[in-house]
Structure 1
Amino acid sequence: MPQHQRPFLALGLRLIATLALATLYMMVKLVHQHGVALPEIMFWRQALSIPLLGGWLAVRGRLFSLYTRRLKTHALRTITGTIGMVCLFGAQVLLPLPVATILGFTTPLFGVLLTALVYKSPPGRSRWMAVVLGFAGVVIITAPGEGTSFAGGISPLGLAAGLCSGFLVAMISLQIRDLTRTETPIAVVFYFALFGTLLLLAPMLLTMAPHPPRVWAELLAVGLIGTLAQILLTAALRFGSAASVLVMDYATLIWTTIYGWTIFDQLPPAHTWAGAPLIVAAGMMIALREHRQIKAARQTA
């Protein structure tokens, strides 16, 4: 089997990546509770990635992989990605970790809608069913009329942030799909960190404050873990297709539930577990459909 097709290794790397992502979300929530503003958290998340990625490439003798002629496209992707990160981290801060994670699973649903709009490709019946099923799960999770506290419902602002994050990640996926036609995956990650750091510098300077050594260590961990997660996600896609490894992403819900319970003493409301399976099932339906289409295309070729 060719090196780039090692499905079990790809699944293993993706599983470890989900743990790294859940740990990143937990650290963001923890650091924010220790008084660090969101712009500063995001700045250090991006800034620390630059020397880590650059050093990793230098050690491997692959700095040439950062060559690009599409700096403007990278910059536009950074703007969308930074807004998406605000929504993503905002949802982690405002909601119990599992609820924010479940709302992030709406990305495939928005992906279907965006693909239909951008590529003028109308979804089939199964995809429309998945979209309807997924958003039915969102309606159940929001528990209309039960209030806005974690005990009864969820924060409206947190809900908006979570859904916006799902939408923007779907949009970013289309941008990355375009970029990777000419750019290496590591270059996409590196320039996002570089332009993101520049974009976040002013908000960080306006909101930063003195921190004790413990909080600086936590901010360092945010940068390290976030970079590790990106490397693992990239490596998983090197050894397996996106459609085949996507199923592992749902393991993030396990890790964030454990973190929410053990560290923040937060468990999602009971109705969350009624809506979550619908969203997960919708995402898996879309992933399975994509996998079958890719397999059929390969067989035809």
Structure 2
Amino acid sequence: MTDLSPPEQRPVAGIVLRVSAATIFAFMAAMVKIGSDHGLHPIEMIFWRFAFALPPLLLWIALRPGGLQVVKTKRPLAHLWRALIGFVAMGFGYWAITLLPLAEATAISFAAPIFATLLSAIFLLETVGWHRWSAVAMGFVGVLVIMQPQNLALPLDGLVVALVSAFGVACVIITIRQISRTERAITTVFWFTLISAVGTGFVVPFFAAGHDWTGWAIMIAIAILGGAAQLLLTASLRVAPVVVVAPFDYTQLLWAVALGWLIWSDVPSAATWTGAAIIIASGLYTLYRERRRSRPQRPVIV
């Protein structure tokens, strides 16, 4: 069986993997914020996130059936583009975490599927009915509630950076949809990691600085957590449909709130809770409509 062949469906396993990925992503985000407090630059954290993750990823691929043959690709430019927009999205995401409380940065990141719906209509020419457009509008209302543009309770630069990151993630979602038609998931993960490690390697000298053991421990932790979460995320889609596992991404917000409170004594405002609830409801309704659209119609018996 290859990564392109129909997988065995195990919804419970997929949900467990997805919740684990969301939990680890939350802890990784907390480590990024801790790293920023410790004086680490986002570019530097991103570089070492890929550099430290590449060797274990190669080992994991080598031990899989087919070994390193699975990283062969006939679409190098597509992987280059995916890596470029993925790096930009990640860079702005790390930056947003340093500028905003963890819960607010996480909540705004959930706007990515909203942007993805817009992009799928424009670039993939997908039919988007009024149900999904209503969900998109509702999602943007949720974002505005969190941002509170009437009084800007949160720093404007952090809000803008977070929205740019969410839009970048949406671009990644659309690109992966196109690449996955011909490429294995593990192939995409490998080339994203390799290209990002090499690319950031050229610019990191302009941002790097000397660090103590705590700084290096933080960057190693970010790499391990980020790599593990990415693999779990990919594995969840291997054993269960996206409409089953995707709703559990929102458990990351619960961890973000808990970690933000425990480490920085941040307590989300009522606006954050309300906006996050609206965004999550929008995302869940979009997934529900996707499931309805993909369900085969029953024959009418007359």
Please indicate the TM-score interval, normalised by the length of the shorter structure: over 0.9
Equivalent residue letter for 2:216 = W
Q: 2:103 aligns with which of 98, 101, 108?
A: 98
Q: Supply the AA of the counterpart residue of 1:23.
A: F
Tell me, yes or no, if structure 1 residue 285 matches structure 2 residue 285: yes
Counterpart for residue 18 of structure 1: 22
Among residues 25, 45, 49, which one is paired with 2:49 in the alignment?
A: 45
- 1:181: how far off? 1.7
3-state SS of 2:295 partner: helix
Deviations 1:147-172 (A, max 9, x none): 4xxxxx11111111111111111111
2:151 corresponds to which residue?
146
Give aligned-pair identity as a percent: 36
Aligned partners of 1:31 and 1:218 also within 8 Å: yes
Partners of 2:299 and 2:35 lie apart in 1 by 49
Question: CA, structure 1 residues 182+297, in 2 after alignment: closer, same or farther (shift >3 Å)?
Answer: farther
How far has the Cα of 1:3 moved from its partner?
5.8
Select the residue among 133, 148, 170 that pairs with 1:128. 133
User: 3-state SS of the aligned residue for 1:271?
Assistant: helix
Cα separation, 2, equivalents of 1:57 and 1:120:
35
More displaced 10-residue stretch of structure 1: 153-162 or 118-127 = 118-127
Match of 2:120 among 115, 122, 133: 115
Report the TM-score, using the length of structure 2 for normalisation: 0.93
Which letter does structure 2 place at the counterpart of 1:225? L
Tell me the number of residue pairs that the alignment of Structure 1 and Structure 2 aligns: 294
Q: Residue 6 of structure 1 corresponds to which residue in structure 2?
A: 10
Distance 1:297 1:52, change over 3 A: farther
Q: CA deviation at 1:270?
A: 2.5
CA distance in 2, matches of 1:285, 1:101: 19
| Residue 270 (structure 1) aligns with | 270
Aligned match for 2:34, one of 7, 16, 30: 30
Question: What do the CA deviations read for 1:208-236 (whole angstroms, capped 9, x no partner)?
Answer: 11111121111111101100001100110
Distance 2:279 2:46 in 1: 28
Amino acid aligned to 1:73 = A
Compute the displacement of 1:144 (Å).
2.0
Q: Which residue, 39, 63, 72 being the options, matches 2:68?
A: 63
What stretches of structure 1 of length at least 5 have no aligned partner? Answer: 148-152
Inter-partner Cα distance in structure 1 for 2:290 and 2:31: 33
Say which is worse superposed, 113-122 or 165-174, in terms of deviation: 113-122
Amino acid aligned to 2:13: L
Unpaired runs of at least 5, structure 2:
1-5
Q: Which residue of 2 aligns with 1:249?
A: 249
Provide the residue aligned with 1:226 in structure 2.
Answer: 226
CA distance in 1, matches of 2:296, 2:172: 26
Contact 1:130 1:285 in 2 (8 A): yes
Residue 265 of structure 1 aligns to which amino acid in structure 2? S
Number of the residue aligned with 1:150 = none
Partner of 2:3: none
Determine the structure 2 residue equivalent to 1:193.
Answer: 193
Letter of the structure 1 residue corresponding to residue 238 of structure 2 = R
Deviations for 1:57-107, whole angstroms, at most 9, x for unmatched residues? 122352111111211211111111111011111111111111111111111
One-letter code aligned to 1:276 = A
Cα distance, 1:50 vs. partner?
1.2
TM-score normalised by structure 1 residue count: 0.93
* Corresponding residue of 2:202: 202
One-letter identity of the residue aligned with 2:185 = P
The separation in 2 between residues aligned to 1:36 and 1:261, in whole angstroms, is 22
RMSD: 1.7
Amino acid at match of 2:266: Q
2:243 is matched by which residue type in structure 1? Answer: A
Deviating more after overlay: 116-125 vs 186-195: 116-125
